[in-house]
């Protein structure tokens, strides 16, 4: 058997659903699964805790079989885990601590999407930040024409269920995570990775629409055109939070805005 053939056979045995016959390869087979589960749990710690070790491990193994890692870095493997949870029959059947899930009124795939977005912000490339004093370079009458360049990782997130309160309470090891889920219905937030670390800020739907437009390069005023209910935005507070949390890397007045 050639070396290449042996390598392919060895890789196939590692990925196989059943343990190999050879005891020596069984050790590698076991370690591959254990390391994959560990990496996935580190990326989705709140989901793992909510599911419980047994069910999470079963889900992780089914996910691994459908999405085997082809890299020495296991972190990227979690990218499609939220979609997997949305489609997986066990989760869809509600076999995950039903009483807890119902009390929290959260959606598990949405919680996983939040955790994966946070992981992305943790490792995102960031740029040096500026503070709100940068606005002083421009006369107030020009402020509506200003454009903000945000961190490359800046993103606006939307959920159908209130996952943020539960996620934050769990991270803070609150005494009762159930009590933390006091809101119902959709939630919006913006997330950004900065030199000081990631930050997640909740906002209303109007602010989310405005921020999405700003992130695409629209001026402060033009971004309002993309908002259905602009009067619901607290522009001053939103800008203060963008600057104070390190989301803004530059401010400019572009030539095409003078027309």
The residue among 109, 21, 23, 106 whose CA lies nearest residue 63 is 109
* Burial call 67-97: b when 16+ CB within 10 Å, e when fewer: bebeeeebbebbeebbebbeebeebeeeebe
In this predicted structure, the answer to whether residue 60 has a pLDDT above a threshold of 50 is yes
Q: Residue 69's pLDDT is what?
A: 66
Q: How far apart are CA 8 and CA 30, in angstroms?
A: 18
Alpha helices in 18-130 (DSSP H): 23-43, 45-51, 53-66, 81-87, 89-92, 98-104, 108-123
Helix (H) or strand (E) holding 250: strand 248-252
- Residue 17: pLDDT band (50, 70, 90) is low
pLDDT in tens, 206-245: 999 999 999 999 999 999 998 999 999 999 999 999 999 9
Q: What are the structure tokens assigned to 212, written together?
A: 């999405």
In this predicted structure, the answer to whether residue 102 has a pLDDT above a threshold of 60 is no
Q: What are the structure tokens assigned to 215, written together?
A: 């992130």
- Residue 88: pLDDT band (50, 70, 90) is confident
Q: What are the structure tokens assigned to 31, written together?
A: 């370690």
The residue among 161, 201, 200, 168 whose CA lies nearest residue 183 is 161
In DSSP terms, 199 is beta-bridged to 192
pLDDT in tens, 181-203: 445 678 999 999 998 889 999 99
In this predicted structure, the answer to whether residue 180 has a pLDDT above a threshold of 70 is no
The residue among 119, 117, 111 whose CA lies nearest residue 166 is 111
What DSSP character marks residue 80?
G
Q: Which of 4-8, 110-114, 134-138, 166-170 is predicted with the least confidence, judged by mean pLDDT?
A: 4-8
Q: How far is CA 72 from the centre of its chain?
A: 22
Query: Which of 3-12, 102-111, 235-244 has the highest mean predicted lDDT (pLDDT)?
Result: 235-244
- Residue 171: pLDDT band (50, 70, 90) is confident
Look-up: residue for tokens 């805005």?
A: 257
- Residue 13: pLDDT band (50, 70, 90) is low
**Global pTM?**
0.79
pLDDT in tens, 111-125: 999 999 999 999 998
More reliable by pLDDT, 37 or 154: 154
Kindly report the three-state secondary structure assignment for every residue of 142-168. HHHHCEEEECCCCEEEEECCCHHHHHH
């Amino acid at each position: 058997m050639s070396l290449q053939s042996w390598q392919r056979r060895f890789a196939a045995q590692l990925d196989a659903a059943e343990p190999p016959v050879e005891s020596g390869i069984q050790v590698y087979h076991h370690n591959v699964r254990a390391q994959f589960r560990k990496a996935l749990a580190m990326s989705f710690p709140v989901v793992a805790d909510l599911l419980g070790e047994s069910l999470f491990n079963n889900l992780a193994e089914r996910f691994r079989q459908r999405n085997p890692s082809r890299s020495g870095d296991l972190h990227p493997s979690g990218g499609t885990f939220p979609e997997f949870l949305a489609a997986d029959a066990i989760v869809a059947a509600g076999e995950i601590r039903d009483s807890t899930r119902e009390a929290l009124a959260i959606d598990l795939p949405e919680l996983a999407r939040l955790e994966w977005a946070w992981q992305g912000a943790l490792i995102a490339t960031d740029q040096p930040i500026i503070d709100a004093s940068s606005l002083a370079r421009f006369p107030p009458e020009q402020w509506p024409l200003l454009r903000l360049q945000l961190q490359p990782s800046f993103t606006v997130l939307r959920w159908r269920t209130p996952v943020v309160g539960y996620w934050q309470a769990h991270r803070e090891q609150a005494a009762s995570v159930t009590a933390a889920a006091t809101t119902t219905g959709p939630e919006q937030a913006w997330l950004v990775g900065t030199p000081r670390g990631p930050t997640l800020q909740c906002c209303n739907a109007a602010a989310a629409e405005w921020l999405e437009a700003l992130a695409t390069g629209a001026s402060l005023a033009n971004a309002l055109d993309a908002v259905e209910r602009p009067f619901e935005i607290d522009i001053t507070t939103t800008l203060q939070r963008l600057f104070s949390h390190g989301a803004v890397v530059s401010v400019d007045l572009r030539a095409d805005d003078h027309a």
